[in-house]
Structure 1
């Protein structure tokens, strides 16, 4: 997992230097995959230790909701609020 994060970090740095915008199209799907993995791990953990899974969810819920909201706007940008002029 650390190697994947390292590769994504280096790719983000290179994309920022080159100003290609390629990662802006790819990263929302990487984030959605990460959110799905997080939910899957949460369900697996809840089978063995429901209290720990509920506590984890309660403590990280603001960050999870914010991250999923941001991912939704990245994946479906047409559903965002109209810009003020």
Structure 2
């Protein structure tokens, strides 16, 4: 999510350094928004399929879209996760 925020802000030179605190805070806010706040420090490879879908949504929202078209965004998720 931080990389998406940095690339959206056209700050790619920061990609190899530490992310600015503003991007870290915004990434945390987006993760909280999709219900993933407690997973911020976990590698993506350890996440369940439903959690990956929520992470993808946070990445999409990081680009501050005016309109977000989604094709079956909850496919494969349990009813509780939807």
TM-score clears 0.5 = no
Larger Rg: 1
TM-score (norm 2): 0.28
Higher helix share: 1
TM-score (norm 1): 0.28
